[in-house]
Amino acid sequence: MATITLRIPDSLNEALDRQSEAQSISKSDLAREALRRFLAVAEFKATRAKLVPLAEAQGVHTDEDVFERLNR
């Protein structure tokens, strides 16, 4: 497992302390999960950006269009 070191503002560290304590998990576990979620969302957005032009070319412009196609 790799190790990273980062500097965060005191206010962010205090918020991290509070959440770590409230959820009974380590600050490292909480930070890992936050980073994991951030990266998943970033990957989703990148994939969506690539797929939107392809979908629009097929007449899919809204979420409703997607669900309609899925339910056929």
Task: Answer whether residue 16 is part of any domain.
Answer: no
- Which of 20-29, 33-42, 63-72 is predicted least confidently? 63-72
Task: Answer whether residue 3 is part of any domain.
Answer: no
Q: What is the mean pLDDT of the segment spanning 30-42?
A: 97
Instruction: Specify the pLDDT at position 11.
Output: 98
- pLDDT confidence tier of residue 72, bands split at 50, 70 and 90: confident
- pLDDT confidence tier of residue 7, bands split at 50, 70 and 90: very high
Radius of gyration of the chain from Cα atoms? Answer: 19
Question: What angle (nearest 5°) sits at the alpha carbon of residue 43, between those of residues 45 and 62?
Answer: 30
H or E stretch covering 30: helix 27-57
Tally the domains of the chain: 1
Residue 72 lies in domain:
37-72
- pLDDT confidence tier of residue 10, bands split at 50, 70 and 90: very high
Task: Answer whether residue 27 is part of any domain.
Answer: no
CA distances from 37 to 15, 31, 66 (A): 18, 10, 24
**Residues whose CB falls within 8 Å of the CB of residue 66, separated by 6 or more in sequence, listed in order:** 55, 60
Q: pTM for the complete prediction?
A: 0.74
